[in-house]
């Protein structure tokens, strides 16, 4: 399995960030943004997205398994 990197900045992606991108933007996406570029895209803080990730996990979202 190849290492995925952010489409914008080249940051190495964490599994949770890919799941978050799918959840928030496009479930069929082939390219992903890192959490920093996602925060820029949505005009929010990285911390807000980290909270979201935890919420989705608590909800049992299959993307975050």
Q: Which residues bind Zn ion (CB under 5 A)?
A: 6, 8-9, 11, 34, 37
- CB closer to Zn ion, 48 vs 59: 48
Helix (H, G, I), strand (E, B) or coil at 28: coil
Which is closer to Zn ion, CB of 11 or CB of 50? 11
Q: What is the DSSP string of 37-59?
A: HHHHHHTS-HHHHHHHHHHHHHH
Please say which residue, 6 or 49, places its beta carbon nearer to Zn ion: 6
Closest approach of Zn ion to the CB of residue 52, in Å = 17
Number of DSSP helices (H) and strands (E) in the chain, helices first: 3, 0
């Amino acid at each position: 399995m190849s290492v995925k990197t952010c489409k914008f900045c080249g940051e190495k992606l964490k599994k949770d960030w890919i799941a978050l991108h799918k959840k928030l933007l496009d479930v069929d996406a082939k390219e992903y943004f890192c959490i920093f570029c996602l925060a820029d895209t949505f005009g929010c803080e990285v911390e807000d997205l980290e909270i979201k990730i935890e919420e989705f996990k608590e909800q049992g979202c299959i993307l975050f398994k």
